[in-house]
């Protein structure tokens, strides 16, 4: 395609996006001269350029629109519902032609436009006297506006997304090279400061490139005013849309990915959430429903909420429907809390719409929203109060290119397992593996807290024969799109933030890997696709096992997940919510202030707790030791451990005969285990003074 035409298409689309936004705002403020001028300008620009490029159909359509808009701008006409609807149709018509040009290079069939052009003409010729209010609007607001826009245009630049992706790759490469340089011990004077500088520059560059991929959520939000307007008219409802946190930024590809789930949620909120005006009036509510779309950043995630003040969801209906559809047994349903029952609407094949409308309720429903959001590593939750309204909460990771993963080993090879699907890890010694993995014909099973968990042996699945399996194994308990199973692996390495690289079509065809990655140490790992593995071995949907944590462990909200570690021959537990990361460092990196072992991490000092005396043992300076970094109130502390054993949920114990919870111990895997109290780790200052 001609560069000139491509540029024209991009610019016109931008103009039409602005036009759409202005038109929906115009409904509330039909007198706003600035808005009218903006709409006029968008159409006028298209018309001007099309004549020059020879797009006759576009020219005819935009010409008809321009006439009407001219009258509006000059105050000879008043914008009303009819006019705005016609202008929105004009917008759709223009968009359709632009799309046709983009796809086929031609404008498509011109006969479709006659109706719209006719309507625009009739509206323009309708005798509607210019009102006094309109005549006073002679301020040349239209001439002032463009300056603002050109200012923004000068400081921004369009960049091809492919180029950005390439830059991202190169930055990833630079990070690896930097890691290798930092590891290389070079005695040359002046090398260390240079390496540190390279380290800093690389980190900054990486951040800058990541930022370049970010776009404000307003790019997606901006299409909703129109959608809400059209839908509520279509359904005979009244709805007002409020947008919040529009400046919140998200990776471009993620923004694209949440467009559909969000649209679906908004449709749902208007169709099923907000009641008809008369129903609302009868309930003593404002006949106009309120729909709020809000985005905010929370740590490494962006939370997008869709809130309506509609009728809410009656939990009993959800429960009855789920039982009727055999998605859950009545016994199981009786054990679930209201909140857990609500989450059942995300199950495939669940739709409570009493009547099928053409807006939603066609059997595909919230499960699509969940699948789409989970595909990009996000989570979705629903909250509802009958009569008060419903909130749908999407939690989206900030960037897609980098995902947290656990590196697992199978027959000497590394594989990356996305953390999002990993629920817990069970370690079995060789003896335990032989006695506790049970077989039903040829299906291996493991009793996880009394329930049978189907197992998949990764080495057998991949037909790996190269190296012998070690003694003992781990079971990674996974939940991929509602398919729950245990993946049996030989060993674990550290969790790592990995950069996802695409695989060649040939290797994607194997159907078990979603990509590959280069780890911090320069080695490569294939990224496992837990959903595809489940499908391959025929793991079924386990509807009852939704939220396995919430159902089996009602106190999970109060943080009873623990990391089980071994330190000095003794097992101890650390509350998982306090753990920031697990690091493997060479012994030589540990320094001492007085008696206190400390670690320098990115310019700050980390106090180390060496309860097991691992640091005092004789050992090679290059030997790797494991440090668990925890949060204790406002400070961070490191705890040295011999090894990380497992993640398990603990049962709080009470002192016999009392209701007092024992805070320093917990029941973990049927054993009473001590909980390390990070508060007891002394402050650095105290130690230095004491020493």
Partner 1 sequence: MMQAADAESRGAAALEDGIEMCSVRVGQTLFGVPIMRILEILDAPAMRPVPLAPGYIGGLVHYRGEILTAVSLRRLLGLPPHTHPPDLLVFEAKDGEGRNGYFGLLVDAVGEVLTVSVEDFEANPSTLDDERKALFAGAYKLGGGLLVMLDPARFDPVQLSQSQLSQ
Nearer to partner 1, 345 or 416 (CB): 416
Element (H, E) at 403: strand 402-410
The angle at the Cα of 247, spanning 246 to 249, to the nearest 5 degrees, equals: 110
Question: C-beta of 415: minimal distance to partner 1 in Å?
Answer: 9
Question: C-beta of 506: minimal distance to partner 1 in Å?
Answer: 4
Please, what's the b/e burial string for 8-32 (b: 16 or more CB within 10 A of its CB; e: otherwise)? beeebeebbbbbbbbbbbbeeebeb
Collect all residues with Cβ–Cβ distance below 8 Å to 640 and sequence separation of at least 6: 567, 597, 608, 609, 610, 611, 612, 614, 615, 625, 626, 627
Nearer to partner 1, 325 or 508 (CB): 508
Nearer to partner 1, 221 or 415 (CB): 415
Nearer to partner 1, 165 or 371 (CB): 165
- Inter-axis angle of helices 114-125 and 56-73, to 10 degrees? 20
Nearer to partner 1, 175 or 576 (CB): 175
Q: DSSP letters of 411-438?
A: TTEEEEEEGGGEEEEEEE-HHHHHHHEE
Q: How many helices (H) and strands (E) does the chain have?
A: 23, 29
Question: C-beta of 422: minimal distance to partner 1 in Å?
Answer: 21
Question: C-beta of 641: minimal distance to partner 1 in Å?
Answer: 30
Nearer to partner 1, 275 or 459 (CB): 459
Question: C-beta of 431: minimal distance to partner 1 in Å?
Answer: 28
CA 691 to CA 688: how far, in whole Å?
5
Question: C-beta of 171: minimal distance to partner 1 in Å?
Answer: 8
Angular region, 284: left φ>0, alpha ψ -120 to 50, beta rest: left
Question: Pick from 221, 223, 21, 252: which is nearest to 159 by CA?
Answer: 252
Binding-site ranges for partner 1 (CB under 8 A): 162, 169-173, 413, 462-464, 466, 501-507, 509-510, 512-513, 516-518, 522-526
Nearer to partner 1, 140 or 509 (CB): 509
CB atoms within 10 A of CB 135: 11
Question: C-beta of 465: minimal distance to partner 1 in Å?
Answer: 10
Nearer to partner 1, 175 or 653 (CB): 175
CA 88 to CA 82: how far, in whole Å?
10
In the numeric block, the tokens 């070079």 are attached to: 186
Question: C-beta of 249: minimal distance to partner 1 in Å?
Answer: 24
Question: C-beta of 473: minimal distance to partner 1 in Å?
Answer: 18
Three-state SS at 299: coil
Nearer to partner 1, 172 or 650 (CB): 172
Question: Pick from 234, 231, 264: which is nearest to 365 by CA?
Answer: 264
Going 112 to 115 to 120 to 124, the CA torsion angle's sign is positive
């Amino acid at each position: 395609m001609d560069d000139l035409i491509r540029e024209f298409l991009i610019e016109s689309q931008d103009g039409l996006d602005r036009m759409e936004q202005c038109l929906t705002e115009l409904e509330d403020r039909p007198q706003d001269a600035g808005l009218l001028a903006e709409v006029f300008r968008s159409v006028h620009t298209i018309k001007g350029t099309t004549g020059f490029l020879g797009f006759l159909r576009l020219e005819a359509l935009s010409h008809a629109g321009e006439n009407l808009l001219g009258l509006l701008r000059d105050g000879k006409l008043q914008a009303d519902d009819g006019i705005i609807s016609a202008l929105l149709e004009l917008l759709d018509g223009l968009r359709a032609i632009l799309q046709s040009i983009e796809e086929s290079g031609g404008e498509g069939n011109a006969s479709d436009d006659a109706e719209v052009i006719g309507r625009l003409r009739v509206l323009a010729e309708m005798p509607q006297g210019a009102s006094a209010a309109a005549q006073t609007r002679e301020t040349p607001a239209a001439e002032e506006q463009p300056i603002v826009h050109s200012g923004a245009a000068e400081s921004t630049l369009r960049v091809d997304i492919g180029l950005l992706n390439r830059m991202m790759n190169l930055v990833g490469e630079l990070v690896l090279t930097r890691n290798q340089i930092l590891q290389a011990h070079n005695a040359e004077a002046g090398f260390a400061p240079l390496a540190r500088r390279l380290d800093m520059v690389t980190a900054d560059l990486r951040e800058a490139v990541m930022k370049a991929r970010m776009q404000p959520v307003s790019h997606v939000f901006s299409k909703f005013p129109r959608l809400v307007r059209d839908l509520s008219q279509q359904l005979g409802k009244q709805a007002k849309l409020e947008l919040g946190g529009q400046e919140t930024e998200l990776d471009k590809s993620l923004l694209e990915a949440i467009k559909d789930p969000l649209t679906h949620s908004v449709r749902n909120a208007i169709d099923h959430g907000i009641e008809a005006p008369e129903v609302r009036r009868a309930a003593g509510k404002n006949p106009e429903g309120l729909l709020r779309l809000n985005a905010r950043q929370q740590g490494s995630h962006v939370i997008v909420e869709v809130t309506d003040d509609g009728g809410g969801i009656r939990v009993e209906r959800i429960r009855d429907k789920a039982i009727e559809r055999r998605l859950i047994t009545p016994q199981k349903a009786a054990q679930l809390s209201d909140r857990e029952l609500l989450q059942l609407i995300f199950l495939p094949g669940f739709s409570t719409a009493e009547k099928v409308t053409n807006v939603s309720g066609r059997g595909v429903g919230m499960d699509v929203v969940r699948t789409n959001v989970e595909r990009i590593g996000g989570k979705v939750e629903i909250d509802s109060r009958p009569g008060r309204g419903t909130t749908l909460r999407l939690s989206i990771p900030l960037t897609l290119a980098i995902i947290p993963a656990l590196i697992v080993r199978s027959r000497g090879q590394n594989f990356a397992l996305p953390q999002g699907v990993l629920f817990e890890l069970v370690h079995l010694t060789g003896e335990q593996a032989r006695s506790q993995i049970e077989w039903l014909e040829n299906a291996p099973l493991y009793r996880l807290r009394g329930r049978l968990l189907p197992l998949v042996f990764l080495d057998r699945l991949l037909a790996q024969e190269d190296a012998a399996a070690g003694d003992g194994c781990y079971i990674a308990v996974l939940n991929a799109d509602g398919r729950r199973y245990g993946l049996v692996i030989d060993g674990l390495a550290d969790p790592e933030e990995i950069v996802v690289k695409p695989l060649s079509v040939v290797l994607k065809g194997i159907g078990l890997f979603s990509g590959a990655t280069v780890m911090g140490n320069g080695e490569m790992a294939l990224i496992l696709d837990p959903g595809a593995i489940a499908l391959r071995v025929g793991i079924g949907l386990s509807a009852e096992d939704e939220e396995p944590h919430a159902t089996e462990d009602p106190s999970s909200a109060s943080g009873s997940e623990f990391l089980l570690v071994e330190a000095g021959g003794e097992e101890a537990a650390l509350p998982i919510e306090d753990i920031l990361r697990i690091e493997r460092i060479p012994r030589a990196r540990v320094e001492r202030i007085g008696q206190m072992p400390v670690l320098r991490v990115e310019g700050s000092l980390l106090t180390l707790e060496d309860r097991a005396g691992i640091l005092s043992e004789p050992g090679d300076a290059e030997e790797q030791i494991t440090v668990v970094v925890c949060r204790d109130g406002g400070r961070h502390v490191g705890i040295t451990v011999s090894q990380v054993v497992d993640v398990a949920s603990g049962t709080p114990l009470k002192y016999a005969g009392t209701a007092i919870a024992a805070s320093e111990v917990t029941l973990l895997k049927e054993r009473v285990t001590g909980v390390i109290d990070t508060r007891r780790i002394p402050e650095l200052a105290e130690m230095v003074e004491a020493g």
